[in-house]
Chains A and B, each alone.
Chain A
């Protein structure tokens, strides 16, 4: 493939949205109440919409007859480039909100920066995405504050969730070889430049939520290289079931 690096770069962004969207989709009909249920699945919908735009573009770049659906449904685990954070299970509402917030802050930074890409299509997707993602961040940030500054139980649960996900945040700023090449060409975003601002923003909201900022230097990584946690296989099993069982089926 001529533009292998661009293809890899797009998948690196898109896979985060696909897998997080899939995780949120699991909550459809299972949210703690109707409003949050609808909110979380609407966020999933935004993420899937963005994913489709990326995959359609990636399919065009691949130019080998593969479609957006093939890219979404027919890859093997090692070929998915999402970070470990987004594949972590929902466990309880505190986990859902903590995972979402830790991703949303990064995602909004990425969408803002990607609007300055040299690639016209990525700019178009980012300009659309930035509006949606800023709303996601508002939702998860509000809930983080509500739970942190809420009851003793909600505070304890959201703190536990933040502590649990903290080691996964560092990977968000890892850059693959393709990421680096794309950043050099002005197409991709230099993720390392976003890091300080990320932790600054997160810390501000945690403080406002009366929560403790974790002091844990340990980090977990590997998703961007295709080395996923034990949860990934289960997600893909559900996501890919129909296409694997009934190849080429359509709705």
Chain B
């Protein structure tokens, strides 16, 4: 069961909104959907964090950044890494997807379209520079494990595409 509305105490939201993904700094941890729980218990902030990819090096940084952000407000945070349920790109918020595109990374397509695009069957990924879908896959892996590298055949812009992960 995928929980799209994790249990997060309202008063913690402004602080969580200050913590960004180190690889995609326009996205907050809430946009990314990696916070599975954030509650205050006995004066301590307890956070459940889920990794995007098993080996994503951003996770350690995010954990440290979260602790630092809460410490600045005089709160101690305890981070627990949870694997289940496994993170999915569906958990990236709509707002997050818009910010990602504006930053120059094409947002994940839905699963079937994603497969077609990554197999090179159909040009479906939209160029973040000119908006053309006349794009081609350059490499199945981009600058990080979560992205693939595309190039626009119209404006020639190379850009990252955030792969659909279900």
Give residues of chain A (133-169) contacting chain B, Cβ–Cβ below 8 Å: 135, 138-139, 142
**What is the count of residue pairs linking A and B with beta-carbon distances less than 8 angstroms?**
70
Q: Does B165 contact A (CB under 8 A)?
A: yes
Q: Which of A39, A128, A129, A138 has the most CB of B within 10 A?
A: A128
Asked if B54 contacts A39 (CB within 8 A), the reply is: no
Which residues of chain B are within 8 angstroms of A28 by Cβ–Cβ distance?
none
Which of B87, B138, B145 interacts with A45 by CB under 8 Å? B145
Asked if A131 contacts B86 (CB within 8 A), the reply is: yes
CA distance A17 to B149 in the complex (A): 25
Give residues of chain B (26-62) contacting chain A, Cβ–Cβ below 8 Å: 51, 53-57
Count residues of A near B (Cβ-Cβ below 8 Å). Answer: 28
Q: Does B139 contact A (CB under 8 A)?
A: yes
Digitize A5-45: 1 where CB-to-B-CB distance is under 8 Å, 0 elsewhere: 00000000000000000000000000000011011001101
Asked if A46 contacts B86 (CB within 8 A), the reply is: no
Count residues of B near A (Cβ-Cβ below 8 Å). Answer: 24
What is the chain A residue whose CB lies nearest that of B54? Answer: A49
Asked if A45 contacts B83 (CB within 8 A), the reply is: no
Asked if B85 contacts A46 (CB within 8 A), the reply is: no
Provide the main secondary structure of the chain A interface. Answer: helix
Give residues of chain B (97-138) contacting chain A, Cβ–Cβ below 8 Å: 118, 138
Q: Does B7 contact A (CB under 8 A)?
A: no
CA distance A72 to B141 in the complex (A): 26
Which residues of chain B are within 8 angstroms of A127 by Cβ–Cβ distance?
83-86
Which of B84, B118, B165 interacts with A131 by CB under 8 Å? B165
Asked if A42 contacts B145 (CB within 8 A), the reply is: yes
Which residues of chain B are within 8 angstroms of A45 by Cβ–Cβ distance?
53, 55-57, 145
Which of A50, A121, A125, A139 interacts with B55 by CB under 8 Å? A50
Chain A residues in contact with chain B, CB under 8 A? 35-36, 38-39, 42-43, 45-50, 52-53, 120-121, 123-125, 127-129, 131-132, 135, 138-139, 142
